[in-house]
Structure 1
Amino acid sequence: MELPTINLGHTNVKMTRIGLGSMPLSINGRPTREEAINVIHRTLDLGITLIDTADAYCLDENDKNYGEVLIYQALQTYQGSANINNIIIATKGGIIRPGGAWETDLNPSRLRQAIRKSYESLGGQKPIPLWQIHNSPQDNKYTLKEIFQPICEAIELKLIQYVGVSNFTVEQIKEVQTYVKIQSVQNVFNIFYHDSENNGVLKYCEDNNLTFIAYSPMGGRRKHKKLKQDKLLLNLGEKYHCSPYCIILAWILSKSKCIVPIPGASKITSIEDSVKALYIHLDQNDIELINNHKFT
């Protein structure tokens, strides 16, 4: 059975309504390489066509690009029925990992090098399907025009096919669109933190045919554990015959036709569970219950 799809932004490229968030496969506490590759292979078997990663999905700067190389190796060793030519690998750049920390670095020269390295890590044979700036500027060190200069160059050099932004406001998105055509916006969206629903970002994506990629849909590792104990989610899970996590993904999917959550997975059972959310349609009363529920 084919999974529901939407177009990536303004393109004719189809992507599934749920993607794989691969960060858990690449950072502290990650599974073995073999186990991680098995998760990616199962993801492909299930029909998911979007895999999100970043050059910063690694342990530290000495381990940089681990996640990208992992995904490339998984695609090269895949022997299932999925067409790997249809897979959208969405990677990101603009964050460095000195000593394992997470620091935004949008130095245009560094971005230029980062894009080239991501291109090589993903095989170096074809443009990166979707390259996203990992974070918006945290200071006034570089203008958005300066930051996006190497990105525009990378498009001309055919290192990048499509461009997206992550953690950007509406105003920043509008400015970026004067420099380059973007197809997606990746911002955090979960039951604890969904500011994009209130600050205009999600609405802007809807009105301008941009795909909204919802990262951290479960709220991160600490919040994730609490969700399976929430009474409302447990009751709804019984009603719809699914896990509390599926209820959350179905709730996120109900927010907009342009939204694509990317739940993380470090186990095969996790991504298998996430896919089930595509076939759960919450009724409006249940959506309102979740909207009004206080999650802690």
Structure 2
Amino acid sequence: MRRRRLGMGSLSVSEQGLGCMGMSFAYGPVNDSESVRTVHRALELGVTLFDTADMYGPHHNESLVGRALSGRRDQAVLSTKVGNEIDRDGALTGRINGRPDYIRSSIDGSLQRLGVDWIDLYTLHRVDPQVPIEESFGALAELVQAGKVRHLGLSEASAATIRRAHAVHPVTAVQTEYSLFSRDVETNGVLATTRELNIGFVAYSPLGRGFLSGRIRDIDDLPEKDFRRVAPRFQETNFHRNLKVVERIERVADTKGVTASQLSLAWVLAQGPDVVAIPGTKRRTYLEENVAVSAMALTPDELAALDVIAPPGVATGDRYPAAAMAYLDG
């Protein structure tokens, strides 16, 4: 597994991390035992970056990841997030909270659940439109000074917000959805800004929430309580239009002798040495399929073919339901 550096500092991570959200949240039934085995297998295969958030569960995912990495802290780079408000009863409120007092009150819970003394990368999960980013990031910077956090990140922030935050404290990484189905960062200035400021880029959902795997042929292939059942790209007419794009990607993958998942993930990794992908899975079989991509290389002709098949804006339907879309590009 090759390594890539995030930002201008010393944070070096595997070019593929492991997105752990689905082990607790959003994608149907979970199995803690298999999830722990998946984390252990990831370590064996050279994965070092493990991405979670306090809202996944809520709280369950941080505890699960902490348990899986117990005794292996020196092998892992831990990334967690704050900002999706959780009330005192441990329930999501549906609000974004970037107030300094909320950030300060959240860190100790994350440290306790993860079972660590510090977090390698602490990310503001969404930008609170009611709070100046200078105030939110100032509170995060205090956590670095206190030794509770090593590096800071932003998720789904606009280019202007990234610049403002970076002026308060260096941003090590910006985390945003990026895949053949979601290329917004190429056109809205986000990727150009991170590169100008030497900020690393962490691509989440590099497989389009599983759509680009080719394994989902119908909405009924998804579990009953799966988040994707309400995601616009998986709805009726949108689904069938997007499936046609996937089928074209599959034909390129067949020619290369790989899966559509592998081809799509290889495309993300080919976008630059500053890009780290965090495909999410809760199963060892899919993890191993993903990790194999790091031994692959795409030819210029293959990259050109994928650009024709899946240019920016190719996917039909928004990434999230309307309420969640309001907090993107904050």
TM-score, scaled relative to structure 2:
0.79
CA RMSD of aligned residues (A): 2.1
**The 10-residue stretch of structure 1 (101-110 or 4-13) with the greater mean CA deviation from structure 2:** 101-110
- Cα distance change on mapping 1:262 and 1:14 into 2, 3 Å: same
Contact residue 54 and residue 93 of structure 1 kept, 8 A? yes
Matched, 1:57 2:56: yes
**What are the residue-to-residue correspondences of 1:130-169 with 2, within 5 Å?**
130-137=121-128, 139=129, 141-169=130-158
**The 10-residue stretch of structure 1 (156-165 or 229-238) with the greater mean CA deviation from structure 2:** 229-238
Count of aligned residue pairs for this structure pair: 281
Alpha-carbon offset, residue 153 of structure 1: 1.6
1:124-179 deviations in whole A, cap 9, x for unaligned? Answer: 4x210100000122x2x211122123212211211111111111111111100111
1:200-222 deviations in whole A, cap 9, x for unaligned? Answer: 22122223321100011122256
- Hey, what's the Cα distance between the residues in 1 that align with 2:30 and 2:18? 15
Matched, 1:68 2:62: yes
Q: Please name the residue that 1:23 is paired with.
A: 21
Picking from 96, 99, 103, the partner of 1:107 is 99
**What are the residue-to-residue correspondences of 1:146-295 with 2, within 5 Å?**
146-221=135-210, 225-226=216-217, 230-294=246-310
Q: Please name the residue that 2:4 is paired with.
A: 6
Contact residue 205 and residue 258 of structure 1 kept, 8 A? no
Q: Secondary structure in 1 aligned to 2:167?
A: coil
Percent of residue pairs identical: 25
**The 10-residue stretch of structure 1 (113-122 or 218-227) with the greater mean CA deviation from structure 2:** 218-227
- Cα distance change on mapping 1:97 and 1:228 into 2, 3 Å: farther
Q: With a CA cutoff of 8 Å and minimum separation of 6, indicate the structure with the bigger relative contact order.
A: 2
- Hey, what's the Cα distance between the residues in 2 that align with 1:222 and 1:287? 19
Alpha-carbon offset, residue 192 of structure 1: 1.5
Q: Secondary structure in 1 aligned to 2:120?
A: strand
Alpha-carbon offset, residue 239 of structure 1: 2.7
Q: Please name the residue that 1:61 is paired with.
A: none
Contact residue 130 and residue 164 of structure 1 kept, 8 A? yes
Q: Secondary structure in 1 aligned to 2:254?
A: helix
Contact residue 211 and residue 259 of structure 1 kept, 8 A? yes
Q: Please name the residue that 1:117 is paired with.
A: 109
1:242-285 deviations in whole A, cap 9, x for unaligned? Answer: 21101001111111111111111011111111111112211112
Q: Please name the residue that 2:236 is paired with.
A: none
Q: Please name the residue that 1:81 is paired with.
A: none
Q: Secondary structure in 2 aligned to 1:37?
A: helix
- Hey, what's the Cα distance between the residues in 2 that align with 1:157 and 1:250? 38
Q: 1:189 is matched by which residue type in structure 2?
A: Y
Q: Secondary structure in 2 aligned to 1:178?
A: helix
Alpha-carbon offset, residue 51 of structure 1: 0.7
Q: 1:21 is matched by which residue type in structure 2?
A: G
Unaligned residue ranges in structure 1 (runs of 5+): 59-63, 79-83
- Hey, what's the Cα distance between the residues in 1 that align with 2:44 and 2:243? 27
Q: 1:73 is matched by which residue type in structure 2?
A: R
Unaligned residue ranges in structure 2 (runs of 5+): 218-241, 316-330
- Hey, what's the Cα distance between the residues in 2 that align with 1:179 and 1:285? 42
